[in-house]
Amino acid sequence: MDLDPIRNKVRAAISPLKPAGSESAAPDNFLFDAKRTDAGRQLPAYYLVYFLLVDLLGFRNLGQFEKVAWSVPVDLQGQAFLIEHRKFGLGVFAPELPESEAIASEIVRLIQNAVKIAEPYFDWRAEQAVRASKLNVVNKTKDLFERFSFFADQYDAKRAEADRRVDERVETRQDNGYDIHFPTFGLRREAKWLALSAIESFFSWTEHVFILLAILRGNVVTGDSVAKLAAQNWDVKFKAALDVNDPGTKRHYDDLIIVRRQLRNFVAHGSFGKQGEAFLFHSSAGAVPVRLPHHQGASFRFGSGTDFVDHEAITLLHAFIDHLWSGSRSPARIYLQEYNLPLILTMAQNGEYARAMASEDGMTAFAHHLAVLMDRHADMDF
C-alpha cells in the first residue's frame, strides 16, 4: 500500500502541530514536571494516537520511563507539550496550568481530525499485523464459563425446590369454591427455562474455548487461521480442539450435536413448537406435526422430535466439561480459566505453549511467570 497520499493528507490535517525541537519553549525539567491537562482526556484511544504520530508521521518517541509507556514531545504555537501514555491513561501534559488549557484543546482537536483521515492507514496496519500473526487473542473463557455455571446452579436449585414441594397444594377460596394451585408445576417450568439458558451459555462458552484450546495445542497458530476458525460452525471448532477419533470424545460429540440440533437451534432461531415443530398439516389422520430442518439443505420431517429432558441435558454438559479438561488437555484449564490469560500466537508458533502443555506443573509455572510480566506491564513498572 502506498502510504504517501494518506500521510500527506494527515500532515495537512494535523498542521501546525509538529514535533517539538530546540526552538520549542519549555521550562527546565519540563519532562518531569509537566502536568496533565483536562483537554487531554478527550484524546482518541492511545494506540490510535501512537500509530498516528510515531508510526505514520514519524514523531520522536522518548521511550519508556517509570509509569510511562511512551512519550511524544510536540509543539504548537512555539510551546512544547508532551503526549504521554501514563499509568492513569493517555493525556496531553503542559508546563503551566490552567494557562495552557486552550492550546491543549487545540492539540486534541487536531489529533482527532487527523485520526479520522488516517483510518485507511489503521485498517492497513491491522491487516498487516494479522498476517504477521504477532497477535494476542482475547480470552473470555472464565467469564463465559461463570455465566454457564450461574444458570446451571440456578437450575439445580429450582429443580430441587420443585422436588421438595411436589406434594404441596395451595387452595385459594373463590366466590363459588376453591382455586387449587400446585407450586411444583410452575417451579419445574422455571427450571426448564433456566436449563435452556444454561445450554445457551454452554454453547457460547464452547464456541470460544474451542478456538483457544486449538491455539494452545498448536492446531491453529496464525491470525488468519484464527479468524477463519472463528467464522466456522460449532462442530468445526469442536474438531479443531478435540480428536473425534477418540471413542470417548466421539460419544460426547454425538450427544452434544443432538442437544444442539434438536434443542438449541430452534430456540435460538425463534422456536415454533416445544420439540422444534413448525407446522401441523391437515390429513385424514388428524393434525400431523412437521419439524424444521436442522440445517440448510436438510428436509422437513414428520413428528415432534425428541422431547427435551432438562436434567439429562444438563448432566450431559457437566460430563463433557469433565472430559474436556481431562488427560493431555488438563494444563489448558490452568492457562485459560485459572489464570485467564490471552493467547499469544507467537508462543504457539515457537513451541512455548507445546512445552507448557506437557504437564500441569509446567503450565502452572509458565502461566504464573507470564501473569507476573503482564501485571508489571499493566502497572507500567518498566
Torsion of CA 21, 70, 106, 123, to 10 degrees: 110
* Whole-number CA gyration radius for the chain: 29
CA distance linking residue 269 with residue 234, whole number of Å: 16
- Residue 272: what pLDDT? 47
The residue that leads in pLDDT, 210 or 174, is 210
Measured CA to CA in angstroms, residue 184 lies from 73, 191, 285, 294 at distances of 70, 10, 35, 33
What residue has cell string 480470552? Answer: 139
The residue that leads in pLDDT, 132 or 156, is 156
CA distance linking residue 118 with residue 48, whole number of Å: 9
- The per-residue pLDDT of the chain, averaged, comes to 88
Average pLDDT over residues 221-240: 94
Backbone torsion region of residue 297, taken as left when φ is above 0, otherwise alpha when ψ lies between -120 and 50, otherwise beta: left
Q: Is the pLDDT of residue 200 over 70?
A: yes
- Residue 98: what pLDDT? 82
Note every long-range contact of 154-161, with CB atoms under 8 Å and residues 24 or more positions apart, other chains counting. Answer: 154/194, 154/198, 155/191, 155/194, 155/195, 155/198, 155/310, 155/314, 156/314, 158/187, 158/190, 158/191, 158/194, 159/187, 159/188, 159/191, 159/310, 159/311, 161/187
Q: Is the pLDDT of residue 178 over 60?
A: yes
CA distance linking residue 231 with residue 234, whole number of Å: 9
- Residue 249: what pLDDT? 97
- Residue 270: what pLDDT? 53
CA 53 to centroid of chain Cα atoms? 29
Return the minimum-mean-pLDDT range out of 43-52, 57-66, 127-136: 127-136
Q: Are 242 and 209 in contact (CB under 8 A)?
A: no
- Residue 174: what pLDDT? 78
CA distance linking residue 167 with residue 90, whole number of Å: 63
Task: List, in sequence order, every beta strand (DSSP E) within 47-203.
Answer: 68-76, 79-86, 89-94, 136-137, 170-174, 177-181
DSSP for 189-213? HHHHHHHHHHHHHHHHHHHHHHHHH
DSSP class of 40: G
CA distance linking residue 220 with residue 15, whole number of Å: 44
What residue has cell string 501514555? Answer: 85
Return the minimum-mean-pLDDT range out of 6-20, 177-191, 350-364: 177-191
- Residue 131: what pLDDT? 82
Q: Are 86 and 92 in contact (CB under 8 A)?
A: no
Structure confidence by residue, pLDDT tens digits, 266-293: 555 555 444 555 565 666 666 666 665 5
- Cα within 13 Å of Cα(133), Cβ side: 17
Kindly state the percentage of the chain with pLDDT values over 70. 87
CA distance linking residue 355 with residue 353, whole number of Å: 5
Closest CA to 308 of 249, 279, 266: 266
Structure confidence by residue, pLDDT tens digits, 215-227: 999 999 998 899 9
- Residue 266: what pLDDT? 52
CA distance linking residue 7 with residue 54, whole number of Å: 12
DSSP class of 300: P
- Residue 274: what pLDDT? 47
Reported confidence tier of residue 307, pLDDT bands at 50, 70, 90: low
Q: pTM, whole model, 2 decimals?
A: 0.78
CA distance linking residue 37 with residue 105, whole number of Å: 9
Kindly state the percentage of the chain with pLDDT values over 90. 66
Structure confidence by residue, pLDDT tens digits, 54-99: 999 999 999 988 889 999 999 999 999 999 999 889 999 998 878 8
- Residue 288: what pLDDT? 67
Give domain limits for the chain: 4-132, 138-271+310-378
In sequence order, which residues have a C-beta less than 8 Å from that of residue 365 and are 6 or more positions away?
Answer: none
What residue has cell string 504437564? Answer: 359
Q: Are 299 and 313 in contact (CB under 8 A)?
A: no
In sequence order, which residues have a C-beta less than 8 Å from that of residue 111 and are 6 or more positions away?
Answer: 14, 17, 43, 44, 49, 52, 53, 83
